[in-house]
């Protein structure tokens, strides 16, 4: 495993469990893949960056008590950043932290696939990082198109995210592929 790599675990926090769209349908598979990714990173000596989202919206308010990792998330992490925007770079100091450690490649996982994970991937790529996007270690929820009323399920959203990221902003990788690189 390359020592120039870091794992970024985005927004896997209890805040989501309080939201009306929360669903545990895809949670078991996500939990298994994310846990394997974190455990594999720790075993390989890859630093684990935990990112938590904080804003003024209900369960994402720091005072809510829900801005903390979900109970099942492995406790291993090297640093925690709190963000108030969609990507993990803009307002956190993450870029500086990574660069001072010689990190040139990041592995992205977490919640939500098409929002904070995708946005972080795009920004990381724009900043010059090589990015592995581990879709199977991301979680999202069905969404309804505001104009057409079409419902996009989690698989649709994940497929779209892979489509727009692959080869432009990231390599789409499985847990095993990301840990083997």
Q: Where are the domains of the chain?
A: 5-180
pTM score over 0.95: yes
pLDDT of 49 above 80: yes
Sign of the four-CA dihedral 152, 155, 156, 161: positive
Cβ proximity of 154 and 140 under 8 Å: yes
Query: For residue 113, what is the DSSP state?
Result: I
The answer to whether domain 5-180 has CATH 3.40.50.850 is yes
Instruction: Please name which of 47, 119, 57, 111 lies closest in space to residue 79, comparing C-alpha atoms.
Output: 47
Q: What would the mean pLDDT of 60-70 be, rounded to a whole number?
A: 97
Q: What would the mean pLDDT of 12-30 be, rounded to a whole number?
A: 97
| pLDDT value of residue 1 | 46
In whole angstroms, give the CA distance from residue 160 to residue 114. Answer: 8
In whole angstroms, give the CA distance from residue 160 to residue 73. Answer: 27
Longest dimension (CA), the chain: 47
Q: What is the end-to-end Cα distance of the chain in Å, rounded?
A: 6
pLDDT of 108 above 70: yes
| pLDDT value of residue 57 | 85
| pLDDT value of residue 2 | 60
| 81-106 pLDDT tens trace | 999 999 999 999 999 999 999 999 99
Residue 3: is it exposed, middle or buried by C-beta count within 10 angstroms (0-12/13-18/19+)? exposed
For the chain, give percent helix, strand, coil, nearest 5: 40, 25, 40
In whole angstroms, give the CA distance from residue 105 to residue 121. Answer: 11
Reduced to 3 states (helix: H, G, I; strand: E, B; else coil), residue 110 is: strand
Reduced to 3 states (helix: H, G, I; strand: E, B; else coil), residue 83 is: strand
């Amino acid at each position: 495993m390359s020592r120039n790599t870091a794992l970024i675990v985005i927004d896997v926090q209890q805040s989501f469990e309080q939201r009306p769209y929360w669903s545990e349908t895809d949670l078991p598979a996500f939990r298994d893949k994310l846990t394997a990714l974190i455990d594999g990173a720790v075993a390989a000596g890859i630093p684990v960056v935990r990112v938590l989202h904080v804003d003024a919206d209900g369960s994402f308010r720091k005072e809510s008590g829900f801005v903390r990792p979900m109970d099942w998330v492995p406790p291993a992490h090297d640093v925690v950043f709190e963000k108030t925007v969609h990507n993990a770079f803009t307002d956190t100091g993450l870029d500086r932290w990574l660069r001072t450690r010689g990190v040139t490649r990041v592995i992205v996982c977490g919640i939500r696939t098409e929002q904070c994970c995708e946005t972080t991937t795009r920004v990381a790529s724009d900043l010059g990082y090589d990015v592995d996007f581990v879709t199977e270690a991301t979680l999202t929820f069905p969404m309804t198109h505001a104009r057409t009323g079409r419902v996009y399920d989690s698989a649709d959203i994940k497929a779209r995210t892979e489509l727009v990221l692959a080869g432009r902003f990231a390599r789409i990788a499985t847990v095993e592929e990301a840990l083997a690189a």
